[in-house]
Structure 1
C-alpha cells in the first residue's frame, strides 16, 4: 500500500474516533471579546509604588510592586512590565535580610518567564541553600530542570515534594507524565488538582486549572471538554487572552473556520499583544488564502520581536521563522545553537537538527536526531520535523511510525501541518 493511501486511511479512521460533531457557538464567547483593556495601575499598586524612592530600602513595597508588575504583564503581554518586575525584585534580593530566599525564588520565576533558565537555576539553588522555604525551592528546581532538559534531576526534585494531596505536587506530576507521553495519567492528575482548587474556592488556582486542563483535553481529542473549560476560565477572568486563543485554535484547527478564528484573535489584540500572537494570525491567514493579511501579520511579528527586551524568549520562534520564511539557514543555525546552549532539550535539539537539515547537512542533522531527539519526546511539532527528515532520507519504516503519531496529534498541530504531511507522504 502506498504511504499516501495509508495516510488517508489513518485520517479517516481517527476522525471517526474524535468529536467531529462538536461545534462552537459564537454566542458562548461573544461577551468576552469586548472586554476592556486591563488596568495597569491600582490603588494597591499606587500605595506601594509611592513608598519607593531612588535609594529605597522599602523591602515590602518592592515585593508588592514587583507582584503587580508581573500581573500587568500576564494581563496585557507588555514585556516592559516583566522587566520592571525584574528590577524591583533584583533590588529586593540585594537588601533583604528577612525572607531573602522568597525574593530570590520570585526573581528566579521572573527569569523563567524571560527564558533566562541558567540564571534562574543559580538563584533557585542559592534560595535552597539558605534553608528557608525548602519545599518551595524544590518545586522551583523541578520547574527549572524540566525547562533545561535535566529530566533525571527534575524527577528527583519531584520525588522530594511528593504529596498527592498538594496542588503544587499534582500539577508538576501532571507535567512529568505529559513529558513521558502518558496523557491519561496527566489528565487524571490535573483533574485532581482542579478539584483541590475548587474545594478551596481559590480563584487564581481555578483559572490556572481550567485553562491548563482545557489544553490537555484538546491534546486528548476531547474538544468539547476543552472548549467548556476555556469558557469556564473566561467566566472567572473575562480578559484571559490564553483562553480566548484556545477557543480561536478550536475554531481554526477543529472547525477549519479561519475567518472566525481571526476575528477572535483581532479582539484579543485590542487588550493583549505578543509576538507569537501574530505568528498564529499569520498561520491562519496563510492557510485561509489571505495572502496580503498573512504578509502583514508576519511583518508585525518580525517588527515586534526585534525588541531587545525579549532577550531569548522567542529564539525558537526565530529559528523556525528563518527556516520557513527565508533562505537564511545559516542564521537559523546560529540561533538554534544559541537555544541549545540556553536549554538543551529534545525540542531545541530538534530545531538544531532541522536547521542543519535545511542547510543541506543531512548527516549532521541525523546524528543529532538519533543522539538527542528521537524517542526522547512526544511533542507533535518535534515529531513532524522528524517525519520530514526521515521521509526525505528514505527511512520509510520510521517515517510511517511517526506519521501515525502525527495524524493522531493533528488537532494540536493544526490544518497547515496536515497539509504538509500530505505533501511529504507523496514523496
Structure 2
C-alpha cells in the first residue's frame, strides 16, 4: 500500500504469490464503522491531572499522565498538535524528574520517533541507559531507533539482548527484524505468536496493535481474506480506527479494483482524521479513476496540511515522492533526499537519492547509489521498481528482467496503477 505506513514502522515485502482472486470484502461488514463521530479529545481523567499543572509546576506525575493522554488523542485524530503537546509535557517531566528520569526519557524518545527526530531519540535513549533502570525497555527502544536509522548490525545486537520468546515486546521486534531480512514466513510466525500473547493478556491496546500489523503482513503474503478479517477485528475493538479502515480501503482498491468504494471508505475517515498522507492515497485512487480534478484537489489538501511547521521532517519522504512522481520538481526532491540520507541512511532514503539522480539526468550516479546502498538490501516493491528503472536507463536489461519477475508478485502492494508501468520496464 503505497501510502499506508507512516506511524507504524513496517517495510513492504514483495512476496505476494498466491493472492486470492475472489471478492473478500462486504459492505455490510464495515458500513457500521464508517458512521463515526469525532474522537473525544478530553476526559475527566485528563482534566483532573491537567488541572494539577500550574505555572512553574513540579507535579511530575501530572506531566507524565497528561502526555500519555495527548499521545492517545494524537493517535485517535491524527492531529499533530497533540503530539507536540505531549512532547512539551515530557520535556518538562525529563527536566524535573529526580527519580524515574529514564522512563520519561524513553517516553520522550518515542515521541521523537513519531516525529521522525531519530537522532534526538537516540541521544535520549543513550541517556536513559546510563541510569541503569528499565534496562530491557531501553534496549528495546534502542533496537527501534537503530532500525529507523539504518544501523542494522547495532539493531540486531539489541534484539539479541532482549531475546525472550515469552515476551510480546521481543516477538514484535523479531517480526520486524525478519521483515527487514525479507523472510515473510518467519515474520508472520512471530507476529502470530505476539498476537496470541496480546489476546491472552486481554490488553486491548496490544490486541489492536497486533491485529492491524498482522493484517498488514497477511496482505503482503497474499492472504487477503485473513488481512481483511483482522482489519475487521481491529474495528470491533476500536470502531474509529482510521488505520484499519484505510487497510480495508486498500483491499477494495488494489485487490478488488473498486476505486469508487475505496474512496467512499476514505472519505468517511478524513471527515474526522487529519493525517495528511490520507489525501495522497485519495489522490492516487482518483487519478486511477481519471478524475483529475479530484486527484488535484486531494493533492492540494495534502500540500496545505504539510505546510504546518509542526510536522518538521515527518513528511519528507512523502514530499520527495510527490515531487518526483507528480509535480516534476526534481531539484526539490533531490535536496530532501540528501537530507534524508544524512538523517537516516536507510535503503529507503538512498532510493529517494538514486531516483532523484535519475530524474535530473544523472543516471550514472543513480546506478552508483543503487549498487552501493540498495541492491540486495531491501525487498520493498516501490524501491525495486525504481531500481528497475535505473537499471533500464543504464542498459542492464538482465537485471530489469529479474526485478520484473519479483514485481509481478507485488501487484497488490503497488496498486493497480502500477501494473502498466511494470509491463513497460
| TM-score, normalization by structure 2 | 0.95
8 Å contact kept, 2:24–2:228: no
Gaps of 5+ in 2: 1-14
Q: Which residue of 2 aligns with 1:75?
A: 76
**How far has the Cα of 1:290 moved from its partner?**
1.1
CA offsets, 1:216-264, max 9 Å, x none? 0000000000000000000000000000000000000001100000000
**How far has the Cα of 1:210 moved from its partner?**
0.4
**How far has the Cα of 1:328 moved from its partner?**
2.0
Q: Which residue of 2 aligns with 1:368?
A: 369
Q: Which residue of 1 aligns with 2:311?
A: 310
1:388-407 matches, within 5 Å, as 388-407=389-408
Query: How many matched pairs?
Result: 411
Q: Which residue of 1 aligns with 2:3?
A: none
1:180-259 matches, within 5 Å, as 180-259=181-260
Q: Distance in 2 between matches of 1:271 and 1:226?
A: 24
**How far has the Cα of 1:419 moved from its partner?**
2.3
Q: Which residue of 2 aligns with 1:325?
A: 326
Q: Does 1:50 align with 2:38?
A: no
- Which secondary structure does the structure 2 equivalent of 1:120 belong to? helix
Q: Distance in 1 between matches of 2:380 and 2:103?
A: 33
Which of the two has greater helix per residue?
1
CA offsets, 1:291-316, max 9 Å, x none? 11001001101111111100000001
CA offsets, 1:379-414, max 9 Å, x none? 111111101111222211111111111111111111
CA RMSD of aligned residues (A): 1.1
**How far has the Cα of 1:188 moved from its partner?**
0.4
Q: Which residue of 2 aligns with 1:167?
A: 168
1:28-427 matches, within 5 Å, as 28-422=29-423, 424-425=424-425
8 Å contact kept, 1:22–1:223: no
The one of the two structures with greater contact order (alpha-carbon pairs below 8 A, sep at least 6) is 2
Q: Distance in 2 between matches of 1:274 and 1:358?
A: 28
Q: Distance in 2 between matches of 1:419 and 1:43?
A: 54
Gaps of 5+ in 1: 1-13
CA offsets, 1:122-164, max 9 Å, x none? 0001001110100000000000000000000000000000001
| TM-score, normalization by structure 1 | 0.95
Q: Which residue of 2 aligns with 1:11?
A: none
Q: Which residue of 1 aligns with 2:8?
A: none
Q: Distance in 2 between matches of 1:339 and 1:363?
A: 21
Structure 1 residue ranges (4+ consecutive) displaced by more than 6 angstroms after TM superposition: none
Q: Distance in 2 between matches of 1:94 and 1:172?
A: 30
8 Å contact kept, 2:19–2:221: no
